[in-house]
Amino acid sequence: MIDTTSFLSKLIETANMMIVGIDNAGNAIIFNAEAEKISGYSREEVIGKNWLEKILPKEMFTDLWKNVNELIINYEIPASYENPLITKSGETKIILWHSVTLIDDGSKTAHISFGIDISEKRRAEENLKLKSAMLDIIADGVFLTDENGNIEYINRAATNGYGISQQEAGKLNIRELFDEQGVKILNENIELLKNSADISFEITYQGKSQPPLILETRISKIYYGGKKYMLFISRNITERKKTQIKLQDLNATKDRLFSIIGHDLKGPVGSASKFFDMIADNQNELPEGQLSEFFKYHSNSLKNIKLLLDNLLQWARSQKNETVVKIERVNIKNTLCECMDLLKGSADSKKIELSCVIDENLNARADSVMIKTVIRNLISNAVKYCRENGKIKAAAG
């Protein structure tokens, strides 16, 4: 027959958990090898001594010590609970206890507690909480998914940006957050991730009740606990993209401005330059009346150049939204004649005749600066592509 007492003694001694027996006075009566290993105390240091005083010094856990001690004395220890345990070296460990009360002849005689050291588990949980809290304070959206894209964690920025809760996200695959085009982009980059540690791309997210967001997204591969994960970090760059587009528009406006200035001023400035060269070369040979006529002509040309610059600068300001479009009544004939006068020098250099046959009472409602710019461009191109000794006629009824 099996010696039951011997069998139980060996079972207690070789168990891979703490087994501690406490009598009704709170003194230890059983203390196995695993209990020695975890607590750092030898059996001789514990047996017959008050168990609580060993593992929960009164000066450190006054309230807890009092409550637990009363539970022991009154035989009201719960079936399962967690308690700190101070080891002989002063380290604090967290033990998960499962307890039973022994009854002999109807009397409660002792408590037997089975303890498992869960310190590492609790530390890992606290560490996870800390990391989660750290991720929650960053502005970028963070998603952790399994290798198939099923969401396991999202941070606060992601819940706010995507308009979904942690609970909702835990039931989704990350692909379900995007439309068909977005899913295509995701799949392409997840495929590329197979041959890379991480990969970056841009993707558009259309929220439930918000305008589309442009996200700069990076995916990294993570291996943990024998499993493969994907870490998605997304930054909202919608405003940055808008700023880039605005800057591109401003640069395009600047380029158009320089182009128009060069286009509209080349002729008048070129004519004035030739005139002054001619004066410098022939100042003693030109009749006085002809010289006076030339000065008068080119004086008007320079005034027109100034007017042209003023108009161009006004137009540039309007392109930068610094001015409001001013709709007013514009006389078509006067406007056309003014623009022709600006370009007369260019036309004369090619012996081109400019004429304007328009009813003096013909008016239009328009922004005068803008319409002058359009007409100048039309006449300038006409002069540029007209043959020498040709005619350019503007007519309207």
Provide DSSP, 341-383.
Answer: HHTHHHHHHTT-EEEEEE-TT-EEEE-HHHHHHHHHHHHHHHH
Q: What confidence score (pLDDT) does residue 27 get? A: 87
What is the domain partition of the chain in residue ranges?
Answer: 4-117, 123-236, 242-396
* pLDDT range class, residue 66, cuts 50, 70, 90: low
Least confident of 30-44, 217-231, 308-322: 308-322
* Mean pLDDT computed over 174-203: 91
From the number of C-beta atoms within 10 Å of its C-beta (0-12, 13-18, 19+), residue 382 rates as: middle
Global pTM exceeds 0.85:
no
For residue 33, give the 3-state DSSP assignment.
helix
Say whether 123-236 and 4-117 share the same fold. Answer: yes
> Per-residue pLDDT for 382 more than 80?
yes
> Per-residue pLDDT for 92 more than 80?
yes
* Mean pLDDT computed over 382-396: 88
Percent of the chain with pLDDT over 90: 20
One of 3.30.450.20, 1.10.3720.10, 3.40.50.2300, 3.30.830.10 is the CATH number of 4-117, namely 3.30.450.20
Domain 123-236: which topology? Beta-Lactamase (3.30.450)
> Per-residue pLDDT for 209 more than 60?
no
> Per-residue pLDDT for 2 more than 60?
no
Q: What confidence score (pLDDT) does residue 304 get? A: 63
> Per-residue pLDDT for 383 more than 80?
yes
Angle 29-30-32 from CA coordinates, rounded to 5°: 155
What pLDDT, in 10s, does the model give residues 100-154? 887 666 666 778 889 999 988 888 778 777 777 777 788 888 898 999 999 988 8
Q: What confidence score (pLDDT) does residue 42 get? A: 93
CATH architecture of the domain formed by 242-396? 2-Layer Sandwich (3.30)
